[in-house]
Structure 1
Amino acid sequence: MKLKSDLSNLEEFLPKTYSLEKRLKAKTLFFKKLALKAHQFYGGKIAVIPKAGPMLPAWLSVWYTPGVSSVSTAVRADNAASFALSGRGGRALVLSDSTRVLGDGDCTPPGGLGVMEGKAMLMKYLGGFDAFPVCINSRGADGKPSAEKIIDFAHMVAPTFGAINLEDISQPNCYRVLDELQKTCSIPVWHDDAQGTACVTCAALINALKLARKKINKIKIVLYGAGAANSTVAKYLMLLGANGGDIVMFDSAGTLNKNRTDLKNNPDFYRQWNLCLKTNKNGVKTQEEAFKNADVLIALSKPGPGTIKPEWIKLMAKKAIVFACANPVPEIYPDEALAAGAFIAGSGRGDFHNQVNNSLCFPGLLKAVLLCRAKAITDTMALASAEAIASCAAAKGLKKEKILPDMYDPEVYPLQVKAVVKQALKEGLAQENITPEEAYKRAKADIKASRRLSGDLYKSGYIKKLPASLISSALKEALKEA
């Protein structure tokens, strides 16, 4: 038996004697070891290739000097022309200082390149637009990460891009950078760790509540973790109609409530203090109190297993919804949550049902703002994206094991584009004269072309085939360590 190149039969190679936890550990080890081998083989995973032609000697005078000077002077006369005369209108910046890379923390400035390249790769393949990964050294003279340095850099490089995606920036700088750039940057800015995660979480909850036949304004919600992601989840849930007083949030020190003077007096946690005032109307303090009769748990905290206890899930209301989304190991495994009485369970992993992953959001949302040249990305635009994701899954029929669309679904991103462009037009933020229907068609065509390009490059040999020996050696190493 041979491990397939698409890895679809990976489970067959795991010993049947392995427990669920050991199987997941083995798979995680395999993906990590294969990632190192594959990245070294390819030397990264994105490249810049020409999209204009022909590449003939005389034409170099058109693409470069002397002809290209007319492009420079045209843009000098009208900076907005840069969106049509260069790739700026179809290009995003993926910006990080690598101070909080996935679950690995501070990885030093170049340590986030693998993640940022991956983000750019998905933007091209799933969203049909170009993206450049940039990791910067944000350390100030005191050696600490500086929000001001990130903000200054974003302003300086903004003339090259149509949108900025912030990624893997530690707290509280992630809040400060987003808030300041949203107010002052000349192009739209998005923080995917927070807004993207919240957007997809809301989409999943919209559909889960439909199956549970519950109304968002009548449910009790537990948010486990109060970082950038869950703080934004709380904000979006309230915009969707959830009662803030019926939301109980936990951070490492306990629940957020109006008596948390440690947050009130700390300017680094102004968002959390604001949530202290808006949530937890009954002053709940313990997990047992919070989980009793709760309808929804959204955990974005420290990886498990064991962070969320099955006995807490047993305290929840009938038809409880549990999203445990820490990576690489969820706070409680979905199977364990279901066994404890959950009606629907989701996680951040793709090897369980209901993967709540921000890759369902950012390719479509950012494609939309590029196509309509939006001045900004508002919360209502993000929620329009969430509604589109939810409706895409609902159109195919919802099941407890299928509340979100697959990220390879050809409709999920064009539908988001249509919804977000419609909202941007409604709010007067679109600077490009394009209708939602036109944006939908453009997005669909561009995404199809990007996927075809990737396939053609692979078939032609420009993208080399990964040797099977590298895959098998990664599997052997993983099984040995598991």
Structure 2
Amino acid sequence: MMKIDPSLKDLDGLFPRGFTEDQKARAKTLFLKRLSLEAHRFYGGKVQTVPKCGVYGLNWFNVWYTPGVSEISTTIRSDNDESFSLSNRGNLVAVVSDSTRVLGDGDCTPPGGLGVMEGKALLMKYLGGVDATALCIDSRDAEGRHSPDKIIEFVKMLQPSFGAVNLEDISQPNCFRVLDELRDACDIPVWHDDAQGTACVTLAGLLNALKLAGKTLAGAKIVLLGAGAANTTIARLILADGGDPAKLVLFDSKGSLHSGRSDIRDDPREYRKWELAQKTNPQRAATVADALKGADALIALSKPGPDTVKREWVSAMAKKAIVFACANPVPEIWPHAAKEAGAFIVATGRGDFANQVNNSVCFPGILKGALLVRARKITDGMAIRCAHSLADFSEKRGISPDNIIATMEETDVFATEAADVAQQAVQEGVARVSLGWDEVYRRAKADIVAARSLVEDMKKAGHIAEPPSELLEAALKHALDAVAGQ
């Protein structure tokens, strides 16, 4: 067995040359899933609490705690907004989930979501310099049904301890009501990353893909496969940013959305779908195959593939077609299959393929910007500004059909997003404090560099151990054996 570089930079190089593209794609998925299991077991999770203050002698506990801290409590009592600067509240996000729709795995029970929510906290810290806490809750009522009211009440109650809330992996239609009610009711930003985060990064990628294809958002015919929290929000932002509703078609599990869908109209929980059904698809396309004929872009966030999207559908799209296949963990169609069918640009939600359209390149920046100006909410205008910030940043450093948006490795993108979003918050009057673009950028960049340096320093000091080579090799052997046996 070859020695595996722990950086995992060359995943394709791990597999035999005789593997087909399909075998290689399946093997990568199996390798990453097994490695994830063993690495989490090795580390016992992936986040911990580390002090940000110094302890220069035991008397400093009298400063950080009693009796000195009494001055902090009474100062905040007199002005609650002081909590943003006298505690970590100003840089702290609650990652809240009832774990009813965890990635592509469905209802995983409340503790089952901890791996994803801790992952969110890790990404926020490492990429955006933002602290976060995973809070997986039981949303069931007395009858055993998942209740949006319980989530809403929980988030309202935790507001005094956090600067923002990131909602995650809440099943539809509950997710729509939870977000909309909390955005209005709370005095801190409540952000649904599955919806708004995915919408931001997808809009950014779409804008640049259309530029490369020589097309415009207003002129593009766009089909969205899936009508959950992500795609309905993507559709809303596309329309708000200039997309043509007559050229937009969404599909849920029962067919296309249109004004004749009485099942959506008559279900008050589906109000977000109904808003879109009334605006889009005036031609009432019957099937996905029909809708994709001559379409410029397909945005799929639906059932994991690899055969959810058919090759013949892609072949029937317009010249220089754009395919976003973003289901996890397996995209609706493998990128190589979409390219072979004629797609010009293909994106997925995975980092092991070209063009990762994943909210991880968006939410650390937008949340950092909102926190630095102590925003009371994240508006659709702020989300669209973030999308354009990401698209513009990427275009300035150069884009191509296999590189349409910046990656997580580009530290500057998060500080740039933070600064742009903060300015939008100030312009819209939802910021508690007004900071200039340069000041937000400087502070965000410093916090991001400090967070990454902290991880590197802990690795060098041995406080974070490198995973043993046997662990990586066992995961690879598992993947190779599984694919060989299929």
1:395-419 deviation per Cα after TM superposition (whole angstroms, max 9, x unaligned): 1111111101111102110110111
Partner of 1:395: helix, strand, or coil? helix
- Deviation of 1:135 (Å): 0.4
Partner of 1:54: helix, strand, or coil? coil
> Mapping of 1:357-372 within 5 angstroms?
357-372=358-373
Give the aligned partner of residue 34 of structure 1.
35
> Mapping of 1:290-301 within 5 angstroms?
290-301=291-302
Counterpart Cα distance in 1 of 2:14 and 2:77: 60
Counterparts in 2 of 1:11 and 1:341: CA distance versus 1, 3 Å: closer
Greater shift, 11-20 or 75-84, is seen at 11-20
The AA in structure 2 aligned to 1:152 is: E
Counterpart Cα distance in 2 of 1:280 and 1:13: 45
1:138-192 deviation per Cα after TM superposition (whole angstroms, max 9, x unaligned): 1110111111111111011110000000000011111111000001012110000
Identity %: 55
The AA in structure 1 aligned to 2:250 is: M
Counterpart Cα distance in 1 of 2:201 and 2:258: 26
Greater shift, 186-195 or 261-270, is seen at 261-270
Give the aligned partner of residue 308 of structure 2.
307
Counterpart Cα distance in 2 of 1:142 and 1:348: 36
1:405-452 deviation per Cα after TM superposition (whole angstroms, max 9, x unaligned): 111102110110111011111111111231121001100111001100
Give the aligned partner of residue 435 of structure 2.
434
Counterpart Cα distance in 2 of 1:193 and 1:310: 27
1:18-72 deviation per Cα after TM superposition (whole angstroms, max 9, x unaligned): 2222212111111111111111111111010111112421111101111111111
Give the aligned partner of residue 380 of structure 1.
381
Give the aligned partner of residue 271 of structure 1.
272
The AA in structure 2 aligned to 1:437 is: D
Aligned partners of 1:138 and 1:147 also within 8 Å: yes
- Deviation of 1:289 (Å): 2.3
Give the aligned partner of residue 405 of structure 2.
404
Give the aligned partner of residue 194 of structure 1.
195
Give the aligned partner of residue 245 of structure 1.
246
Count of residue correspondences:
482
Counterpart Cα distance in 1 of 2:64 and 2:292: 63
Counterpart Cα distance in 2 of 1:205 and 1:464: 40
The AA in structure 1 aligned to 2:315 is: K
- Deviation of 1:470 (Å): 1.1
1:17 aligns with 2:4: no
Counterpart Cα distance in 1 of 2:329 and 2:311: 19
Partner of 1:242: helix, strand, or coil? coil
1:234 aligns with 2:273: no
Give the aligned partner of residue 124 of structure 2.
123
Mark the runs of 5 or more structure 1 residues left unpaired by the alignment: none
Counterpart Cα distance in 2 of 1:111 and 1:282: 42
Aligned partners of 1:324 and 1:347 also within 8 Å: yes
Give the aligned partner of residue 84 of structure 1.
85
Counterpart Cα distance in 2 of 1:469 and 1:316: 46
Counterpart Cα distance in 1 of 2:175 and 2:298: 24
Aligned partners of 1:3 and 1:10 also within 8 Å: no
Partner of 1:223: helix, strand, or coil? strand
Give the aligned partner of residue 349 of structure 1.
350
Counterpart Cα distance in 2 of 1:481 and 1:286: 36
Partner of 1:411: helix, strand, or coil? helix
Partner of 2:133: helix, strand, or coil? strand
- Deviation of 1:348 (Å): 1.1
Counterpart Cα distance in 2 of 1:11 and 1:47: 32
Counterpart Cα distance in 1 of 2:437 and 2:156: 29
Instruction: Provide TM-score, normalisation by structure 1.
Output: 0.98
Off by >4 Å, runs of 4+ in structure 1: none
1:191-248 deviation per Cα after TM superposition (whole angstroms, max 9, x unaligned): 0001100100000011111111112111111111111100001000001101111101
1:70 aligns with 2:71: yes
Partner of 1:471: helix, strand, or coil? helix
The AA in structure 2 aligned to 1:402 is: N
- Deviation of 1:392 (Å): 1.2
Greater shift, 329-338 or 93-102, is seen at 329-338
Counterpart Cα distance in 2 of 1:28 and 1:432: 45
Greater shift, 133-142 or 334-343, is seen at 334-343
Partner of 1:217: helix, strand, or coil? coil
Counterpart Cα distance in 2 of 1:90 and 1:110: 25
Partner of 2:4: helix, strand, or coil? coil
Give the aligned partner of residue 324 of structure 1.
325
- Deviation of 1:288 (Å): 3.0
Counterpart Cα distance in 2 of 1:389 and 1:378: 17
Give the aligned partner of residue 185 of structure 1.
186
Counterpart Cα distance in 2 of 1:470 and 1:246: 50
- Deviation of 1:16 (Å): 2.5
Give the aligned partner of residue 214 of structure 1.
215
Counterpart Cα distance in 1 of 2:129 and 2:229: 28
Counterpart Cα distance in 2 of 1:229 and 1:98: 16
Partner of 1:350: helix, strand, or coil? coil
Partner of 1:106: helix, strand, or coil? coil
The AA in structure 1 aligned to 2:367 is: L
1:260-286 deviation per Cα after TM superposition (whole angstroms, max 9, x unaligned): 111111122111111110100112112
Aligned partners of 2:11 and 2:352 also within 8 Å: no
Counterparts in 2 of 1:321 and 1:453: CA distance versus 1, 3 Å: same
Give the aligned partner of residue 99 of structure 2.
98
Counterpart Cα distance in 2 of 1:359 and 1:295: 26
The AA in structure 1 aligned to 2:354 is: H
1:285 aligns with 2:286: yes
The AA in structure 2 aligned to 1:455 is: E
Counterpart Cα distance in 2 of 1:21 and 1:343: 20
Counterparts in 2 of 1:431 and 1:352: CA distance versus 1, 3 Å: same
Greater shift, 398-407 or 279-288, is seen at 279-288
Q: What value does the CA root-mean-square deviation take over the aligned residues?
A: 1.0
Aligned partners of 2:21 and 2:336 also within 8 Å: no
Counterpart Cα distance in 2 of 1:337 and 1:7: 25
Counterpart Cα distance in 2 of 1:473 and 1:141: 45
Counterpart Cα distance in 2 of 1:478 and 1:255: 38
The AA in structure 2 aligned to 1:111 is: G
Give the aligned partner of residue 45 of structure 2.
44
Partner of 1:477: helix, strand, or coil? helix
Greater shift, 363-372 or 53-62, is seen at 53-62
> Mapping of 1:123-202 within 5 angstroms?
123-202=124-203
Mark the runs of 5 or more structure 2 residues left unpaired by the alignment: none
Aligned partners of 1:98 and 1:135 also within 8 Å: yes
Partner of 1:226: helix, strand, or coil? coil
The AA in structure 2 aligned to 1:428 is: G
The AA in structure 1 aligned to 2:181 is: E
The AA in structure 1 aligned to 2:209 is: A
Aligned partners of 2:209 and 2:401 also within 8 Å: yes
